[in-house]
Chains A and B, each alone.
Chain A
Amino acid sequence: DSGVTQTPKHLITATGQRVTLRCSPRSGDLSVYWYQQSLDQGLQFLIQYYNGEERAKGNILERFSAQQFPDLHSELNLSSLELGDSALYFCASSPRDRGVDTQYFGPGTRLTVL
């Protein structure tokens, strides 16, 4: 158990819909990272938050957004969903925003868009 929790574990929805994925980092960790894992793209970095502020952006679509709340949990919002958005979404946490801290991953949310 990494100490990172994610809900829900599975999510099935239809194209055009909007969903919210939730992540709680390990106790004491201030940074949260979101990754997307699809069959044909592997694990891809989406976005990082540190102590409530956006720190870095990766391959995140404009239809996707995220935020980190004062209690440090984070939410990833996916809107106008398309079939290609079906994937595993992982969050990871680490103590700081910079440096070489390792990232610990949550169990993931499997999103299926029908």
Chain B
Amino acid sequence: GQQLNQSPQSMFIQEGEDVSMNCTSSSIFNTWLWYKQDPGEGPVLLIALYKAGELTSNGRLTAQFGITRKDSFLNISASIPSDVGIYFCAGQNPHFGNEKLTFGTGTRLTIIP
């Protein structure tokens, strides 16, 4: 099945560092979503973006919907231990005929003591 290209695949950082990850697609999306998944749990919605160019923040998290509608990025500032997990981007385009989400391959964030 189709997946979005997400990078980096994994990150090892120290507490307090800023984090940046991005997602790219060959297809245009109308909505970009960012989820975080803890081990054994379901993805939890962090930020939803609905318009090209939109920049949205949720606490220490900031995400942007790319102007081309084919990419998005997520920044986390001043990382803390509870930020550890896997981050997924997801795109949605109702014009494809349904509301399914196409997911990125995930970025695994690890905080080094």
Which residues of A are in contact with B by a Cβ distance under 8 Å?
2, 4, 6, 31, 33, 35, 41-45, 48, 55-56, 58-59, 90, 92, 94, 97-108, 110
Contact = CB atoms under 8 A, between A and B. Distances in A.
Given A58-B100, A97-B99, A42 B105 contact: yes
A55 B3 contact: no
Interface string B89-104: 0101010011111111
A100 B30 contact: yes
A75 B102 CA distance: 22
Contacts of B103: 42-44
Given A58-B1, A58-B100, A105-B35, 18 more contacts: A48-B98, A56-B100, A58-B98, A59-B1, A90-B43, A92-B42, A92-B101, A99-B99, A100-B30, A100-B31, A100-B92, A100-B94, A102-B31, A102-B48, A103-B33, A103-B101, A108-B41, A108-B42
Given A41-B1, A102-B33, A90 B42 contact: yes
